[in-house]
Structure 1
Amino acid sequence: MTAIDNHRTPATAGRLPRRMGFALLAAALTAAVLAAITPWPRGFQGTPTGDAELMSELEDALGSRHWQHVAAARTDGDEVTFAGTGADEHTEFEIGSITKTFTTALFADAIDRGEVEADTSLGEVWPELEGKVAEVTLESIAMQRSGLPSQNPAPSFSDGVMTMLSNYVHTDPYRGDAADIVASLNDVEVGEPEPEYSNYGFAVLGQAVAEVAGLNYSDLVRSRLTEPLGMKETFVPDSAEGLTHGFTASGLPAAPWTMGGSAPAGSIRSTTHDLSIWLRAVSDGTAPGAEAAEPRTEFEDDRIGWAWFTTTHGGSTITWHNGGTGGYRSYLGFDSKSGKGVIVLADSANWVDAAATLISKPADTEAADSARRDSAAKSGTQS
Structure 2
Amino acid sequence: MDIGTDALHASASPSHPRSATPRRGIIAIIAAVVAAALLLLITPLPRGFQGEPTGDATLVSEVENVLGSKHWHHVSAAKIDGDDVTWGGVGADENTEFEIGSITKTFTAALFADAINRGEIDEDTRLGDVWPDLDGDVAEVTLASTAMQRSGLPRLGPVVSFRDGLANLLSGYLHTDPYRGTAADLIDSLQDVDVGEKEPKYSNFAFGLLGQALATVTGSTYGDLVRDRITEPLGMASTYVPESPEGLSHGYTASGLSAAPWTMGGMSPAGAIRSTTHDLSIWLKATADGTAPGAKAAAPRENFDESDRIGWAWLTTTDRSPNLTWHNGGTGGYGSYLGFDAKTRQGVIVLADSAIGVDDAADLISSDSPEAYRAQYPGARAGDGL
TM-score range relative to shorter protein: 0.7 to 0.9
Matched, 1:69 2:74: yes
Q: TM-score, normalised by structure 1?
A: 0.87
Contact 1:120 1:138 (8 Å CA) reproduced: yes
Residue 313 of structure 1 aligns to a residue whose secondary structure is coil
Q: TM-score, normalised by structure 2?
A: 0.86
Whole-angstrom distance in 1 between the partners of 2:146 and 2:85: 33
User: 2:296 maps to what in 1?
Assistant: 291
Contact 1:357/1:365 (CA < 8 Å) preserved in 2?
Answer: no
Letter in 2 for 1:295: P
Say whether 1:232 aligns with 2:241. no
1:273 Cα shift? 0.3
**What's the offset of the Cα at 1:336?**
1.0
Structure 2 residues without counterparts, runs of 5 or longer: 1-13, 19-25, 374-386
Aligned residue type for 1:343: I
1:337 to 329, 339, 343: 343
Equivalent residues of 2:320, 2:368 under 8 A apart: no
- TM-superposed CA distance for 1:36, in Å, is 2.9
In the TM superposition, residue 313 of structure 1 has moved relative to its aligned partner by 2.3
SS in 2 for 1:204: helix
Return the letter of the residue paired with 2:141. Answer: V
Aligned: 1:211 with 2:219: no
The Cα offsets for residues 133-168 of structure 1, whole Å up to 9 and x where unpaired, read as 110000000000001111021111221121011111
Structure 1 CA distance, aligned partners of 2:79 and 2:65? 15
1:241 to partner: Cα distance: 2.5
Find the residue that maps to 1:196 and give its secondary structure.
Answer: coil
Residue 312 of structure 2 aligns to which amino acid in structure 1? W
Q: After the TM superposition, which residues 72-87 of structure 1 pair with which residues of structure 2 at under 5 Å, given as runs?
A: 72-87=77-92
Structure 1 residues 225 and 27 mapped into 2: Cα distance closer, same or farther (>3 Å)?
closer
Is the CA contact (8 Å cut-off) linking 1:49 and 1:87 kept in structure 2? yes
Give the conservation status (yes or no) of the 8 Å contact 2:319–2:368. Answer: no
Residue aligned with 1:115, SS: coil
User: The residue matched to 2:192 in structure 1 has which SS?
Assistant: coil
Contact 1:75 1:342 in 2 (8 A): yes
Greater mean alpha carbon deviation, residues 30-39 or residues 143-152: 30-39
Q: Give the root-mean-square deviation of aligned CA atoms.
A: 2.4
Rounded Cα–Cα distance in structure 2 between residues aligned with 1:263 and 1:365: 41
Residue 35 of structure 1 aligns with which residue?
40
Residues 238-247 or 138-147, more deviating: 238-247
- Quick check: 148-157 or 44-53, which moved more? 148-157
- What amino acid maps onto 1:339 in structure 2? R
Contact 1:292-1:306 within 8 A present in 2 as well:
yes
Q: Which residue type is aligned with residue 119 of structure 1? A: D
Equivalent AA in structure 2 for residue 341 of structure 1: G
* Correspondence 1:310 to 2:316: yes
Q: Work out the number of aligned pairs and report it.
A: 353
Q: Structure 1's 42 and 120: CA in aligned 2 closer, same or farther, altered over 3 A? A: same
- State the AA in 2 paired with 1:133: V
1:130 paired to 2:135: yes
CA distance change for structure 1 residues 30 and 263 in 2, over 3 Å: closer, same or farther? closer
Alignment of 1:10-29 (within 5 A): none
**Counterpart in 2 of 1:373?**
none
What stretches of structure 1 of length at least 5 have no aligned partner?
7-19, 368-383
2:160 partner letter: P
Match for 1:55 among 60, 63, 83?
Answer: 60
- 1:173-217 deviation per Cα after TM superposition (whole angstroms, max 9, x unaligned): 012111111111122111111111000000000000111111100
Superposed displacement of residue 363, structure 1: 3.9
Aligned counterparts of 2:30 and 2:140: Cα–Cα separation in 1: 67
Identity of aligned residues (%): 66
Q: Helix, strand or coil for the counterpart of 1:251?
A: coil
What secondary structure is seen at the aligned counterpart in 2 of 1:303? strand
- Residue 245, structure 1, aligned to residue 254, structure 2: no
Q: How far apart, CA to CA, are the structure 1 residues paired with 2:368 and 2:313?
A: 27
Deviations 1:239-288 (A, max 9, x none): 11333421111101111000000000000000000000000000000000
Kept in 2: contact 1:72–1:345 (CA 8 A)? yes
* Deviation for aligned residue 1:127: 1.1
